[in-house]
Structure 1
Amino acid sequence: MSIQTFGSPDGLAVVGLPVPAPAAGQVLIATEAVGVGGVDTLIRSGALAAYGFEEGHIPGSEVAGTVTAVGDGVDGSWIGERVWAFTGTGGGYVEHALAPVEEVVPLPANLSAVDAVTLGSSGVVAHFGLRHAHFAPGETVLVRGAAGSIGIMTVQLAARGAAAAVAVTTSSAERGERLRRLGATHVLDRSGDGGEPSPAGYDVIIDVVAGKDMPSFFDRLNPNGRMVAVGAVAGQPPADFGTKIMAAFQKSMSFAAFSAATVTAGERRAVRSEQFAAASRGEIETVVHEVLPLDAAVLAHRKMDAGEVFGRIVLTP
């Protein structure tokens, strides 16, 4: 499945490709599940063309399945192993995916491939995003855009980390109640308001949304509060968004962006292994919105564009 034309989901099309051979340092995986992420829709829309993405690109960055071949320098014992893998900036919407061996993590026997791709990328971003914000037990946290897979994991990890309060912004009362069951203590609308008492300010804001409204959330930070952007599903913030921080200079607020690419592969593997084990024990909940066949990727992207997804859509070859 590749992007034949940037723009609407209809630009995606099924293409026939030969089974690739792994290069040195790579493994070949017969995919059982492919995660659909927000970055996939941004790439497909053409919004990231300036970053080198071209038409013909195969989207998808995380897969789970069974290793069927290895390249030079890779231990042959990987063959037959059930794994989760990060394929890079694309190449996941396929029946046979290539991945560098350092981005491959074995799966617990009782964790499904669908659950693995629901957790694999989002859990790492949530974990290190909170660490990047220097989140500490007893602090208040706001998760902006909590209904996606990253937001859902951030809610769960903040609650497990003994946050004093975990507030969320989301689009409906039904979604809010689902987030409460995952650990949210306060449910707000997309503007950050709500019809219930909520903290006057937050020590940490994890923002998956960005977009034009992002600067208004600086007003909700406590003195010494930290906002970390871990996504930009609504696009880039205004170019002058930093003036909000400077206007409140005496509050010593801070803003940072976070990408998991800045964390070493070893650290990412260790956290993923821990989270996969926790999910297999029922300590972390994986939230799957829907499982669709790989050739229904157009429908998956339509649902993503319409904001219909709670959790993650997973494609299966």
Structure 2
Amino acid sequence: MKAVQIRAFGDPGELIAVDLPTPSPAGNELLIAVEAVGVSGADALIRRGALAAYGFTEGFVPGNEVAGTVLAVGDEVDASWEGRRVWAFTGGGGGYATHVCVPLEQVLPLPPALSPADAVTVGGSGSVAHFALRHAHFAPGEAVLVRGAAGGIGVMAVQLAARAGAGAVAVTTSSAERGERLRRLGATHVLDRFGNGDADAPTGFDVILDLVAGEDLPRFFDRLNANGRLVAVGAVGGQPPADFGLTLMAQFQRSLSFATFSAATVPTAHLQAVRRDQLDATARGELTAVVHDVLTLDQAGLAHRKLDAGEVFGRLVLTP
């Protein structure tokens, strides 16, 4: 099979196409002929070497979600799965390939009307956005700010917050054009990257989902209402200042909360239930899959250059 490996940590040019043995499904695994791969910010962090401490090594094949057709199954899986169109979470890697083996508990059947590209755009990002809002104890009527809303998780968070009855859904983004696209997805206010620029926006927010982090994270504590919650869901802007907790403690009497969120803490069965619902909702047209571009597998390096340049609105998708 064809796959894309990280030859060496660093530049996107170190993503190279190689030939590897096609795996065989064992036990509860399914062998999937991949038709679409979702490209994520986590893939870029792994490629840069930023997550080497977590066991990612050079030679790794990135890609944590795929869609395609089941070719074969292990001896613990019902043969009726063969030939079915599916979405699958690969468990952290292996998706940048023409074939991948995935445990049955991480596989969902695709609705007939849903394309593989749309499936990998919604499947992973949507569930992260859903559980991040739950982690923030979001309630209908509350004002929400999504910081860094143009990425895959951000565009889903905007849609889900609006769909759930948020009193306001504000976003930070880098351009007026992106802001207008986010308005069409449910945003009610568009701010610049510092949280300014819309005189009609709420002066405070009950929930902030922060996909950026970086040195500016502490200034967003000032944008929380009393009892407000800021949840860091990503860190595409790097780590916050080491002393950012001092800003939070300086506002002790306002009862503000800061938390981090990773989908790794959510039981698989709960993730899969939400993913199934969201894939179905997308097939019905109730959620929008925002696909920035579809590239071929051997253009993985180009996809990562687009990520690194901040060009992507929604998700990039690779196809064999």
Alignment of 1:261-276 (within 5 A): 261-276=264-279
Corresponding position of 1:231: 234
Distance 1:105 1:167 in 2: 32
Cα deviation digits, residues 29-50 of structure 1 (max 9, x gap): 0000000000000000111111
User: Is residue 2:28 matched to residue 1:58?
Assistant: no
The SS at the match of 2:150 is: coil
Cα deviation digits, residues 256-278 of structure 1 (max 9, x gap): 11111111111111111111111
Contact 2:38/2:63, CA 8 A, preserved across alignment: yes
In the alignment, which of 133, 140, 143 is matched to residue 143 of structure 2?
Answer: 140
TM superposition shift of 1:22 = 1.5
Corresponding position of 1:42: 45
Alignment of 1:100-139 (within 5 A): 100-139=103-142
Q: Tell me which amino acid in the other structure corresponds to 2:117.
A: V
Distance 1:222 1:71 in 2: 53
Alignment of 1:178-193 (within 5 A): 178-193=181-196
Distance 1:284 1:14 in 2: 34
Root mean square deviation, CA, Å: 0.8
Alignment of 1:190-201 (within 5 A): 190-201=193-204
User: Is residue 2:12 matched to residue 1:21?
Assistant: no
Distance 1:3 1:201 in 2: 43
The SS at the match of 2:69 is: strand
Structure 1: runs of 5 or more not aligned: none
Contact 2:189/2:198, CA 8 A, preserved across alignment: no
Corresponding position of 1:89: 92
The SS at the match of 2:18 is: coil
Structure 2: runs of 5 or more not aligned: none
Alignment of 1:1-20 (within 5 A): 1-20=4-23
Q: TM-score, normalised by structure 2?
A: 0.98
Corresponding position of 1:168: 171
Contact 2:148/2:211, CA 8 A, preserved across alignment: yes
Distance 2:73 2:260 in 1: 35
The SS at the match of 1:69 is: strand
The SS at the match of 1:218 is: helix
- Stretch moving more, 96-105 or 113-122: 96-105
TM superposition shift of 1:3 = 0.1
Distance 2:215 2:173 in 1: 17
In the alignment, which of 144, 150, 154 is matched to residue 151 of structure 1?
Answer: 154
TM superposition shift of 1:195 = 4.1
The SS at the match of 2:258 is: strand
Q: Tell me which amino acid in the other structure corresponds to 2:268.
A: A
Distance 1:69 1:230 in 2: 36
Distance 2:41 2:139 in 1: 28
The SS at the match of 1:77 is: helix
The SS at the match of 1:14 is: strand
Q: TM-score, normalised by structure 1?
A: 0.98
TM superposition shift of 1:72 = 3.0
Distance 1:115 1:202 in 2: 31
- Stretch moving more, 15-24 or 30-39: 15-24
TM superposition shift of 1:197 = 2.1
TM superposition shift of 1:118 = 0.3
Cα deviation digits, residues 193-244 of structure 1 (max 9, x gap): 1143211100000011111111111111100000111111112212222111
Deviating runs (4+, > 3 A) in structure 1?
none
Contact 2:214/2:239, CA 8 A, preserved across alignment: yes
The SS at the match of 1:301 is: helix
TM superposition shift of 1:111 = 0.3
Q: Tell me which amino acid in the other structure corresponds to 1:89.
A: G
Alignment of 1:275-286 (within 5 A): 275-286=278-289
Cα deviation digits, residues 247-305 of structure 1 (max 9, x gap): 10001010111111111111111111111111011000000000001110000000000
In the alignment, which of 208, 211, 214 is matched to residue 214 of structure 2?
Answer: 211
In the alignment, which of 265, 270, 291 is matched to residue 288 of structure 1?
Answer: 291
Corresponding position of 1:301: 304
